[in-house]
């Protein structure tokens, strides 16, 4: 008999709707104003710190929902934003300067929903509030680093080929390397040897016949800039994820700019602390033959540099860098056999080979770990922003007991908290080039809430208008279409909540509003086709069957073309455009499902298989 559906089809549709409803439920629970507290260098988040903080909140009569310690961070939830702001001051007084306190919004999803992986939709900066940064990559520093690496490589290559030279020095002003050879014949030999290893080098004659200038081709310069930008984007994204900021947006803008958006973070200073942690490591041998007293007097040997440890002890280190932090692939804090904090480091294959070769002939010598940070200084650049100043200190120096490889450890760290913080920064990666924040913008949670309220209002009015029209024009069949429309909205929210990378923005809400209007298009086509079949003298059951079957081709054609446009917008668009494209694409797919499959099941359940003379359509 026409218009009869098996039981399993009803069960499948009901199951899909129930699952979507289940994963959409977390969006009904508002987020809690919260504080995220983590340790800086020298600090450590312990159970004792959590307990002291909880007691301080109680003494200040602050409405606290919970204070939890999880994965080395304290998450404190509050009843209101007023309590949150007051708690930040109390936390700063209680814990001191060794902790970073960030204003945030924490999901309030019940445990039973969290247990099945249900969580609210990720909201964009315009809906949730947060901070926006435009950052500039210091391409000059990236190029200087490359030039310094070339100096080390050239020295090793010339020694390997037994070509005698007086000096190999970087000329950072002109972005080139100056080679000073001993004989005229060595000039040609050096050029041939280096060119054989790297075809992208450009050689020009120096100021005299024994000097050779080596620079980088334009193709290589472009590659260096692209590499610095892309690697910094990856590292910043990893670092923000390591710290615990949810769903950040990190993307390039132009040739040397990076846009960073941190939804939910309301404290600009804390966001700068997270992004400005340009920590890196260099491993160098201690120059034990150099005259330390002469170096302190200003007479530093040409092949060495003067450094200081944290306690102010001077150390003379070789200029040659054995290894840099960019080869670190893993770092974990732990304790050594004497229960002292340490950081275990894992290198990539290239880094392991470099360290193995560097320590092969250095057993018994001391190797120093140099910690490097870039911080804004007092001097302003041409664009009016503070110039980044390089800060360096030796965090430990130890005797090389055996040839090192891909796995080794750093000891001599003051506290477990410092070891954990250093491991986090190293695991996230060392920036290829320093970054400078040239624009910052904060969007408050009140503005985000206002945007959400306006968007929800638009969706509600759009739904009311469509629901009323469908009931008036299509009567009982209009009610069926309205049920499908509500189910469609539940499906959109459920799918958006289930997709890990999907973020709802204000344009995304506009996409939902548009989908609400488009969702009934398929039902209009179907219902009009049923009317035509009835007008042509078909029976009720034949009209229903033919109406759905013959309208499907038109429905598929119109929706597929719109879906293709949404995919193109997602592929070439950025930020808000992508948010609109995502909700539009999901809305198209769910509307086809509810209109073609869902309403047909309801219509067949109510009117299918019955001897009827007319339909309420």
Q: Give the pLDDT confidence score for residue 461 in this predicted structure.
A: 86
Tens of pLDDT, residue by residue over 406-430, are 887 777 676 776 677 667 666 655 6
SS3 assignment, position 336: coil
Residue 202 CA neighbour count, 13 Å, CB half: 9
Identify the CA nearest to 27 among candidates 455, 471, 342: 455
CB 142 within 8 A of CB 436: no
462 φ/ψ angles, rounded to the nearest 5 degrees:
-60, -45
Which tens digit of pLDDT belongs to each residue from 136-179? 888 888 888 888 888 878 888 888 888 888 888 888 888 888 98
Tell how strand 503-504 and strand 122-123 pair up. parallel
* pLDDT 10s digits, 88-105: 888 888 887 667 777 777
- What is the arithmetic mean of pLDDT over 328-339? 79
Contact 24, 16 (CB under 8 A): no
SS3 of residue 537 by DSSP: coil
The DSSP output letter for 59 is H
Residue 243 reports pLDDT greater than 60: no
Rounded to whole angstroms, how far apart are CA atoms 356 and 363? 11
The dihedrals phi and psi of 382, each to the nearest 5 degrees, come to -65, -30
Looking up tokens 């930040």 gives: 88
- Average pLDDT value over all residues in the chain: 81
pLDDT of residue 46: 78
- Tokens 């070439």 — which residue? 572
pLDDT at 558: 82
| Band of residue 463 on the pLDDT scale cut at 50, 70, 90 | confident
Mean pLDDT of 312-320: 86
Residue 42 has pLDDT above 50, yes or no: no
- At residue 284, what are phi and psi to the nearest 5 degrees? -135, 155
pLDDT score, position 572: 79
Q: What is the pLDDT of residues 245-283, one digit of tens each?
A: 556 778 888 888 888 888 766 666 656 666 665 556 788
CA distance 543 to 538: 6
Please spell the DSSP secondary structure of 247-293, one letter per residue.
S-EEEEETTTEEEEEEET---HHHHHHHHT---EEEEEEE-TTS-HH
For residue 27, the number of C-alpha atoms closer than 13 Å in the C-beta half-sphere is: 22
Lowest mean pLDDT among 55-59, 127-131, 509-513, 539-543: 127-131
Cα separation of 540 and 531, whole Å?
10
pTM, two decimal places? 0.61
Condensed to tens digits (0 to 9), the pLDDT of residues 544-574 reads: 888 888 888 888 888 888 889 888 888 877 6
Q: Where are the alpha helices (DSSP H) in 67-215?
A: 81-95, 111-114, 125-128, 139-160, 184-197
Q: For the beta carbon of residue 338, count every other beta carbon within 10 angstroms.
A: 7
Q: Which residues, listed in sequence order, are joined to residue 314 by a DSSP beta bridge?
A: 308
Give the C-alpha separation, 555 to 390, whole Å: 62
Measured CA to CA, the distance from residue 319 to residue 408 in angstroms comes to: 22
């Amino acid at each position: 008999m026409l218009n009869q559906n098996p039981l399993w089809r009803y069960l499948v549709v009901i199951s899909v709707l129930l699952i979507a409803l289940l994963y959409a439920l977390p969006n009904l629970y508002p987020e809690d104003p919260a504080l995220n507290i983590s340790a800086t260098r020298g600090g450590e988040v312990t159970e004792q710190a959590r307990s002291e903080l909880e007691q301080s909140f109680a003494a200040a009569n602050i409405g606290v929902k919970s204070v939890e310690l999880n994965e080395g961070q304290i998450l404190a939830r509050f009843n209101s934003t007023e309590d949150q702001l007051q708690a930040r001051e109390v936390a700063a007084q209680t814990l001191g300067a060794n902790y970073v306190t960030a204003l945030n919004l924490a999901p309030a999803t019940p445990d039973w929903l969290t247990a099945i992986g249900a969580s609210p939709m990720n909201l964009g900066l315009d809906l949730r509030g947060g901070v926006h940064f435009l950052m500039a990559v210091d391409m000059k520093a990236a190029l200087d680093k490359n030039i310094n690496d070339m100096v080390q490589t050239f020295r090793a290559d010339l020694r390997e080929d037994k070509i005698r030279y007086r000096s190999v020095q970087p000329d950072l002003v002109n972005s080139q390397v100056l080679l000073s050879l001993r004989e005229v014949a060595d000039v040609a030999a050096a050029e041939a040897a280096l060119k054989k290893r790297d075809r992208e080098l450009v050689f020009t004659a120096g100021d005299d016949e024994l000097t050779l200038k080596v620079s980088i081709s334009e193709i290589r310069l472009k590659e260096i800039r692209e590499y610095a930008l892309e690697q910094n984007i990856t590292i910043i994204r990893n670092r923000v994820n390591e710290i615990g900021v949810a769903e950040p947006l990190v993307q390039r803008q132009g040739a040397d700019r990076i846009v960073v958006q941190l939804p939910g973070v309301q404290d600009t200073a804390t966001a700068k602390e997270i992004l400005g942690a340009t920590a890196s490591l260099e491993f160098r041998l201690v120059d034990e033959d150099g005259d330390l007293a002469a170096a302190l007097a200003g007479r530093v040997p040409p092949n060495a540099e003067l450094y200081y440890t944290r306690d102010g002890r001077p150390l003379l280190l070789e200029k040659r860098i054995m290894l840099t932090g960019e080869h670190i692939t893993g770092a974990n804090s732990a304790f050594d056999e004497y229960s002292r904090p340490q950081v275990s480091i894992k290198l990539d294959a290239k880094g392991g080979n470099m360290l193995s070769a560097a320590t092969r002939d250095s057993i018994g010598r001391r190797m120093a770990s140099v910690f490097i940070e870039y911080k804004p200084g007092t001097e302003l650049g041409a664009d009016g922003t503070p110039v980044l100043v390089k800060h360096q200190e030796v965090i430990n120096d130890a005797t090389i007991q055996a040839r090192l490889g891909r796995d080794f450890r750093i000891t001599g760290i003051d506290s477990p908290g410092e070891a954990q913080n250093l491991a986090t920064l190293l695991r996230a990666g060392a920036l290829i080039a320093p970054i400078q924040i040239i624009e910052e913008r904060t969007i408050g949670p009140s503005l985000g809430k206002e945007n959400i309220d306006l968007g929800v209002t638009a969706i509600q009015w759009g739904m009311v208008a469509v629901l009323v029209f469908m009931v008036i024009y299509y009567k009982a069949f209009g009610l069926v279409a309205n049920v499908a429309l509500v189910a469609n909205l539940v499906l959109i929210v459920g799918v958006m909540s289930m997709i890990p990378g999907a973020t709802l923005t204000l344009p995304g809400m506009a996409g939902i509003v548009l989908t609400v209007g488009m969702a009934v298009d398929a039902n209009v086509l179907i219902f009009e086709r049923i009317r035509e079949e009835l007008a042509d003298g078909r029976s009720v059951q034949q009209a229903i069957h033919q109406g759905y079957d013959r309208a499907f081709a038109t429905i598929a054609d119109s929706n597929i073309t719109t879906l293709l446009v949404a995919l193109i917008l997602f592929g070439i668009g950025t930020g808000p455009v992508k948010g609109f494209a995502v909700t539009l694409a999901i809305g198209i797919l769910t509307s086809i499902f509810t209109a073609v499959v869902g309403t047909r099941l309801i219509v067949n359940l109510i009117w299918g298989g019955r001897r009827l003379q007319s339909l309420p359509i």
